Amino acid sequence: MERALERVCACTDTHAAVAACDPLQARAIVRQLPILNRKKDVPGIVGLLRDILPAHGVPSRWGFVEAAAAMRDIGFFLGSLKRHGREPVDAVAGLEPTLLDLARVTDLPPRETLLHVTVWNPAAADAQRTYTGLSDEAHLLESVRISMAALEAAIALTVELSDVPLRSPAFAQGCDELAARLQKMVESIVYAYRYISVQVFYDELRPYYEPIRVGGRSYLGPGAVEMPLFVLEHVLWGSQSDHPGYREFKETYVPYVLPAFRAVYARFAGRQALVDRALAEAQAFGARDEAVGAGLAALDRVFEVLLRFRAPHVKLAERAYEAGRSGPAVGSGGYAPGMLGDLLALTRAAQSRLRTALSER
């Protein structure tokens, strides 16, 4: 599993480099946004954004790190303007070509994403960019940081496990390592329960995550749904799922994850998922094979951890939208919260097939 660790180290280094980068010299300027947002000072927001926009053509000469950091800082203005009822590219001349240039350099959407506002955002209190300055927002960003590196490692592990025979000791070992990585997702949801008010999220934070239009297309705002957990589950159990809502869900959010994870998604699209391959091998080797039993049991432990994240996540989303029942019926990343219930049911169904095979031993 050494290759998986090498990949995640590379990702972690990139995240740190972007967080430390300030190509627009915008740190102090962006940190004025919470005050302007509280005042609903749209002219003030527009003026500051104009001050930090790079000169025409400059973004095309940047590398990934500089372009991602610039999009981060511009992005907080995008969400702020939309929160106050303005389409950013209509409000600020010259903004749209800059966003499109940054998108080309990073191969990401032409606005801020979950990556920009969390792992590419300095965590230090005197440098962190926010829309509101509220402690709940700082905790929301931290809840993502808690698990992102572990999740990226978990995706790499899942890809590697897809080629490891079920009966190999390396399969059970890899599953246990995968479960340990995914435990960080559980920790992140526990943290969110503890430190983020659902009422504050719905009333004060969610309005900054609305879609905006760039280049004639609509782009979703940052949301936890953009975490690449769905890429991991695609490889683990969902690559051949015929659930239309689930397929649409995945295809909606693939453009918002890193290009490397989009490549993983494409590689496994329509291919036999890891759990299906494991069940086929179990059937071929027979019920009494001890190595088969060990592999299936280890895979079941992965599902147990996934469900310890999925079930509380559904409840947290339900609480948030119960708190704001008179408002929008879609989540902060543009999805209907009911989709989380479908994901939970699909994950349980995959585990049920696995447990049926275990019970037949």
Element (H, E) at 219: strand 217-219
Are 175 and 221 found together in one domain?
Answer: yes
Are 175 and 253 found together in one domain?
Answer: yes
Residues 6+ apart with CB under 8 A from 302: 175, 178, 179, 182, 236
Q: How do residues 200-222 score in pLDDT, each as one tens digit?
A: 999 999 999 999 999 999 999 99
SS3 (DSSP) at 214: strand
Q: Determine, yes or no, domain membership for 158.
A: yes
Least confident range of 35-49, 55-69, 83-97, 311-325 = 311-325
Are 304 and 212 found together in one domain?
Answer: yes
**pLDDT on residue 5:** 47
Residue 326 has pLDDT above 90, yes or no: no
Percentage of the chain beyond pLDDT 70 is 93
Q: Determine, yes or no, domain membership for 119.
A: no
Q: How do residues 141-182 score in pLDDT, each as one tens digit?
A: 999 999 999 999 999 999 999 999 999 999 999 999 999 999
* Type of residue numbered 145: R
For residue 103, what is the domain's CATH number? 1.20.58.1320
Residue 284 has pLDDT above 50, yes or no: yes
- The average pLDDT across 118-138 equals 97
Least confident range of 51-65, 213-227, 282-296 = 282-296
Q: How do residues 223-279 score in pLDDT, each as one tens digit?
A: 999 999 999 999 999 999 999 999 999 999 999 999 999 999 999 999 999 999 999
Residue 117: CB atoms within 10 Å: 26
**pLDDT on residue 126:** 95
Q: What angle do CA 309, 112, 220 make, to 5 degrees?
A: 70
Residue 23: which domain range?
A: 18-112
Q: Both tokens of residue 259?
A: 């290009």
- The average pLDDT across 108-132 equals 97
DSSP 271-300: SPPHHHHHHHHHHHH-TT-HHHHHHHHHHH
Q: Determine, yes or no, domain membership for 151.
A: yes
Q: Determine, yes or no, domain membership for 10.
A: no
Residues 6+ apart with CB under 8 A from 215: 96, 99, 100, 110
Per the CB < 8 A criterion, the answer to whether 312 and 343 are in contact is no
Q: Determine, yes or no, domain membership for 322.
A: yes
Per the CB < 8 A criterion, the answer to whether 278 and 166 are in contact is yes
Mean pLDDT in the chain?
A: 93
Q: Determine, yes or no, domain membership for 3.
A: no
Phi-psi region of 57 (alpha: psi -120 to 50; beta: other; left: phi over 0): left
Phi-psi region of 68 (alpha: psi -120 to 50; beta: other; left: phi over 0): alpha
Q: What is the domain count for the chain?
A: 2
CA distances from 130 to 108, 114, 142, 264 (A): 21, 12, 12, 31
- The average pLDDT across 24-43 equals 98
Of 80, 112, 144, the position where a domain reaches its end is 112
**pLDDT on residue 11:** 80
Are 187 and 81 found together in one domain?
Answer: no
Residue 328 has pLDDT above 70, yes or no: no
**pLDDT on residue 4:** 46
Q: How far apart are CA 16 and CA 158, in angstroms?
A: 24
Residue 123 has pLDDT above 50, yes or no: yes
Residues 6+ apart with CB under 8 A from 179: 298, 301, 302, 304, 305
Q: Determine, yes or no, domain membership for 120.
A: no
Are 164 and 301 found together in one domain?
Answer: yes
Which residue do the tokens 């809502």 mark?
245
